[in-house]
Amino acid sequence: HRTSMADEAERDERKKRKQPGGEPEGREDNVDDEAEQARADEEEDDDISRAIQEKRERENSRLSEVYDEFIRVASDEQIRRYEHYKRSTFPRAAMKRLMQQAVGTSFEKGPIMLAIIAKMFVGEVVEVSRERMTAAGESGPIQPRHLRDAYRGMQESGVVPSSTGTLTGASGDGTRGPENAPS
């Protein structure tokens, strides 16, 4: 009760000091309320930022542990390939053009998402190529025929749609996928 009386007295004192032609009475209270709300919003934003930062740090720590484990078990060639993969990118301008041509529009994050998907797809094709080479007893650099073979295998297993618009299942029966099935 004493605090509210002190607050009222302070407000009355500010009103007395008000110059003629200044802001209307009650406006200063609104400014104080707005300033207090802005401080509360800033504190809330800071709390959210801290929580996000802590989450990122935990995720980075987890990824660091996974990376350390990978380094322990991977061969020098695998590490070299991974480092090269990590540094590789698709040009954002090219991704934007491709997205514009394919979809007819492009939004801010679209080319970034397309580049991420493309990079994952290329990584998958290279991985399948390397697995098939190892299974065939081959070593050395991946040749274009290995990439074509991996791509065909991915089409046959249904990972990649075929150019005819059909997805072939693991059985290789050539049946249409659910999105291409006649209605």
Question: Over the stretch 38-66, which tens digit does the pLDDT of each residue have?
Answer: 888 888 888 998 999 999 999 888 888 98
For residue 20, what pLDDT is reported?
Answer: 52
For residue 172, what pLDDT is reported?
Answer: 44
Give me 183's structure tokens: 């209605």
Give me 6's structure tokens: 């002190």
| Mean pLDDT rounded to a whole number for the chain | 79
Task: Give the whole-angstrom CA distance, residue 127 versus residue 151.
Answer: 11
Q: How big is the chain, counted in residues?
A: 183
How large is the C-alpha radius of gyration of the chain?
A: 31
pLDDT for 27 beyond 80: no
Task: Give the whole-angstrom CA distance, residue 110 versus residue 97.
Answer: 11
Range from 11-20, 105-114, 130-139 carrying the lowest mean pLDDT: 11-20
DSSP state of 108: T
User: Considering all CA atoms of the chain, what is the largest pairwise distance in Å, rounded to the nearest integer?
Assistant: 94
- Among 59, 73, 69, 77, which Cα is nearest to 130's? 77
Global pTM value: 0.52
Region 95-116: mean pLDDT is: 88
